[in-house]
Homo-oligomer: A and B are copies of this chain.
């Protein structure tokens, strides 16, 4: 495949540059009969939208999504759904100065060498703006998962630079601009961000995503394991440098006697595995975390070169997020929803005869 599609039975294909006329996508494989409107998609797009707080980029993108096909009289028809978001606030002039430069930490260098020709305006195809369509497609998946199977996907910012959430109050996540689950740390966060912005620097973040009420049995053995495909879809988000399932890297120092989730007739006694054993869901909560690097678009000058291999110094102007991890929360939810929906359809196609009582589930780490 040429890279702009994800999924097998539920498949999302996207196009669009940050400063082109529009972004768009095709969502293929949604079963017929799902009630869906543009408003359903807009909710998540608005959560991802820049300009929501003083800590995210002040660009004003309308991000109004149109559904161009696949929905008739309010319900999906089973055919492909065309999505379109027109770009309305493009200040291309901001970028003309970096036409021949490689910004450190960006895809400029790798794109240039891969293609020999690139859309340098705002990162072009490598811009995080591309994720708007993922969020719209993910909103369709989320609605289907919820309506057809009661599955809920929710994300939060679990760490920003040195500040870690220690309590997970999921009700609070949507009540603050950081998607942060630990109310007690909001003030510290606010102060940290203000100071960071003053310095013109950026910082990394950790985002956790959880799926609840996932049936046992999703995921295919060996290569298409649910954890492998979640790693794929989550790592494909811009700026992500690490993916964990369940306890993640903490397992390196764990012993088998403490890591293994024991079973009782009342259910699992713990969820170190993050809801996946041997690549297949157990019916417990699916838990994944991702590490997002600090954006390289900062106002502190940095050394770089141009396409002629000449040394230069670079300051990124334009409007950028000091912590891209914050806006990544709805994107991570979208990618998990897309992967779960694909596996749900695949499992249904391949194992329709298996009807087992819901397994008892006692514990989750969230």
Contacts and interface: CB of A to CB of B under 8 A. Distances in A.
A305 B263 contact: yes
- Identical chains in the assembly: 4
A266 B346 CA distance: 35
B203 A256 contact: yes
Interface string A293-313: 111111010111100011100
A215 to B, nearest CB: 9
Contact of A124 (B77, B105, B248, B249): B77
B348 A352 contact: yes
Interface residue range, chain A: 35 or more
A104 interface: yes
A107 interface: yes
Contact of A303 (B205, B254, B263, B304): B263
A260 B105 contact: yes
Given A2-B224, A15-B69, A252-B291, 12 more contacts: A4-B221, A17-B79, A22-B69, A24-B84, A31-B350, A72-B124, A110-B219, A231-B232, A236-B279, A242-B248, A269-B303, A272-B293
11 contacts: A2-B9, A13-B13, A24-B82, A33-B354, A78-B351, A110-B216, A114-B280, A238-B278, A257-B298, A264-B305, A349-B349
